[in-house]
Chains A and B, each alone.
Chain A
Amino acid sequence: EAGVTQFPSHSVIEKGQTVTLRCDPISGHDNLYWYRRVMGKEIKFLLHFVKESKQDESGMPNNRFLAERTGGTYSTLKVQPAELEDSGVYFCASSLLDPNEKLFFGSGTQLSVL
């Protein structure tokens, strides 16, 4: 069974540009989450989709970040315009709906904003 896949694995962009990250969850997982890890710090929650609906977006840093999950399958996270402080590793994870289910993570997208 395929795991959670993220694309691209690395992205280097200049300040002010736009970047779109993609996440394909495990088939059948209604829950999809985005997280971010800034170098040297802990992984931080960004938002949670249940199917195509945003369940919790309390961790989104500001309105330069836009997440979508059209059709309840894959998700995209767009940063526009990117700032230097947006650099970090962006992880996606998915899980079944049972609240005690473990999360399955992708290997992340390393975003560098220069």
Chain B
Amino acid sequence: ILNVEQSPQSLHVQEGDSTNFTCSFPSSNFYALHWYRWETAKSPEALFVMTLNGDEKKKGRISATLNTKEGYSYLYIKGSQPEDSATYLCAFRGYGGSQGNLIFGKGTKLSVKP
């Protein structure tokens, strides 16, 4: 059984703090790693799709790194703002699975206090 683990489960930070969280996934049979941002009652929104070991992607104040050999990815948020409050989901895709056959973690719920 393939598992994707995210830590921490939840995180409370003050506005302006920088933060990061972890996604651990199987290190074998890797094809891609997705990050999504999900606000309750809204649609999960894609942040990054990462495929190459050592890849680093950036979108505004959010960035992510990927280590496929050891099976982890970090998501960083620089200078957190209240509007960053959401659940951040990572999802693993292995070889052999269809394009959308993603294995999701349970997410890290971020709360940013003004």
Partners in one complex: yes
Instruction: Identify the A interface with B (CB < 8 A).
Output: 3-4, 31, 33, 41-45, 48, 55-56, 58-59, 91, 93, 95, 97, 99-108
A35 to B32, CA, bound (A): 18
A-B contact count (CB 8 A): 64
User: How many residues of B are in contact with the other chain, CB < 8 A?
Assistant: 27
Interface of B is mostly: loop
Decide yes or no: A48 and B41 within 8 Å by CB, A100-B49, A100-B51, A103-B34 being known contacts.
no
Q: Of the candidates A43, A48, A91, A107, which one forms a contact with B101 in the assembled complex, judged by CB atoms under 8 Å apart?
A: A48
The residues of B that contact A44 with a CB separation of less than 8 Å are: 104
| CB closest residue in chain B, given A92 | B43
Contact B104 A43 (CB under 8 A): yes
Q: Choose one: B51, B100, B104; the contact of A42 (CB below 8 Å).
A: B104
Contacts of A103 in B (CB 8 A): 34, 46, 100, 102
Whether B29 is near chain A, meaning CB under 8 Å from some CB there, is no
Q: In the complex the two chains form, what is the Cα distance from A107 to B103 in whole Å? A: 19
Which residues in B have their C-beta under 8 angstroms from that of A108?
A: 43
Say whether, besides A102-B49, A103-B46, A107-B43, A41 and B106 are in contact (CB < 8 Å). Answer: yes
A-B contact pairs, 24 of them (CB 8 A): A3-B43, A31-B100, A42-B4, A42-B104, A42-B105, A42-B107, A45-B100, A45-B101, A48-B99, A48-B101, A55-B98, A95-B100, A99-B99, A100-B51, A101-B99, A102-B48, A102-B49, A103-B34, A103-B102, A105-B43, A105-B45, A106-B43, A107-B43, A108-B43
Per-position binary interface string of chain B over residues 65-84, scored 1 when its CB falls under 8 Å from any chain A CB and 0 otherwise: 00000000000000000000
How many Å lie between the Cα of A102 and that of B34 in the bound state?
8
